[in-house]
Chains A and B, each alone.
Chain A
């Protein structure tokens, strides 16, 4: 039982690593499908904008609200900006953006590639002389790697803006006080950390979505299963990778 499970997990990991390798090869060698890359930038980047804007906005607002109450106990209401920006930039921006993208993009990719597998479209691609990794996987992962950081910056900014709205109108702190406090909390290491992590998270989300999609078996039912698995696996992977990257950067910088 456990032996079987371990064997499957090992096989799965092996296949995943093989896909990552094939992706690397697909990036540096021809043929390269430019049009698909641009299409995916649009689908993954622009397509996720709304959900990321909403997430960032509400997160920033609730952060201001909660920290306002806590800080009031110490008479430090003017420090709200610090808390909002530090939490947004270091953790909540990257992680929440990645989780939203995992929910939206990993599932979409797994469903799309999964149904292409079960209807023989992937085989048709190969029969027509196209490597599915180059045509389908490379553009998606590239878009993930580059668009998740952009989306994260968007989420960070809109989160601070949301924090400002609550701080100024509800907590009655002066606008300049809030923004000064926001900037004060932004240490350069933290900003770097908040920018670097999303590159990895973007890669992890999309590569897992592609991997699960391409391994789909068992008809339309299999596609449903693949979609669910992709979201679960990508979300857990986001949190795990975020932890280990954070740990690694702490070791390297402090």
Chain B
């Protein structure tokens, strides 16, 4: 509790998503887990999990199916509550806030759910613009412009009037990413964004994640089974060169801003950057890395 960040903007005055730089300055923690534990009935899913996500950095969660990766993302959003421990997001105690207070924290969070979780009664346009349309007073024309912009970003501009059921799995995943970023959140959580997709589509999605992180300074948490995508995200960077966006291999300093966390049986068994992960000699890690 003592090492928790103190927010200069208490929740009562928090109305617009204040930029995190204003609030904390660079290098500040935006998500903090402090000894978090959670059990469903008598099955322990997370035990004593602690980590800190720094503004503009990336955390990549690895672990076998059922290790509790999705659960961590749901805890950050306040969709679940921990049995013990403290969770700070943007300087708010999400483990304690009431549901209506959580809405303010969620305003600065975007989430890409494991299966996309698109609203299947709404079109792609309505899905992507949902938050702006329903939860803000933005004029309709402006909402539409933003929807077209983010759909262009994920390369699905021509699918704007389709229903989710008329999309392929990969397209649905990209629409979910567009929906998560439409309201310009400063933290985006990705739950297995590339699982079950072909390598080409996977790389496109990895690049969206990299672009958001490096060009819009979004702090990211990525959950994945796909080692290749994890390393790609950790070791690449996006730059804007005379108006064109390019994804390049990152320098070692940038590479250190992406940290891997490996979960096994409800606990953290590894924490470190890409180089450290590749160099690790732990047998479990080695089997996981293949």
Contact = CB atoms under 8 A, between A and B. Distances in A.
B117 interface: yes
Q: Which of B117, B130, B135 has the largest number of chain A CB atoms within 10 A?
A: B117
Given A121-B119, A123-B74, A128 B130 contact: yes
B111 A129 contact: no
A25 B156 CA distance: 40
A33 B100 CA distance: 16
Contacts of A127: 77, 79, 106, 109, 111, 113
B100 A123 contact: no
Contacts of B113: 120, 123-124, 127
Contact of A129 (B74, B106, B117, B119): B106
Contacts, number: 52
Contacts of B99: 126, 131
A119 interface: yes
A130 interface: yes
Contacts of A119: 115, 117, 120
Interface string B40-55: 0000000000000000
Interface in A118-158: 119-121, 123-131, 135
Q: Which of A31, A33, A129 has the largest number of chain B CB atoms within 10 A?
A: A129
Contact of B79 (A123, A129, A130): A123
Nearest to B70: A120
Given A120-B115, A121-B119, A123-B113, A130 B77 contact: no
B35 interface: no
B107 A129 contact: yes
B114 interface: yes
Interface residues of B, number: 22
Contact of B119 (A31, A33, A124, A131): A124
Contacts of B114: 120
A55 B280 CA distance: 72
B117 A120 contact: yes
Contacts of A125: 119
Q: Which of A125, A128, A129, A131 has the largest number of chain B CB atoms within 10 A?
A: A128
B104 to A, nearest CB: 9
A165 to B, nearest CB: 41
A173 to B, nearest CB: 51
Contact of A124 (B107, B109, B111): B111
A127 B120 CA distance: 16
Contact of A130 (B111, B115, B135): B135
Interface string B125-152: 0000011001100000000000000000
Given A121-B117, A130-B134, A130-B135, 14 more contacts: A119-B115, A119-B120, A121-B118, A121-B119, A123-B77, A123-B79, A123-B113, A127-B79, A127-B109, A129-B106, A129-B131, A129-B135, A131-B99, A135-B134
Interface of A: 31, 33, 119-121, 123-131, 135
26 contacts: A31-B135, A33-B134, A119-B117, A119-B120, A120-B114, A120-B115, A121-B117, A121-B118, A121-B120, A123-B113, A124-B111, A124-B113, A124-B117, A124-B119, A125-B119, A126-B106, A127-B79, A127-B106, A127-B111, A128-B131, A128-B135, A128-B179, A129-B106, A129-B107, A129-B131, A130-B134
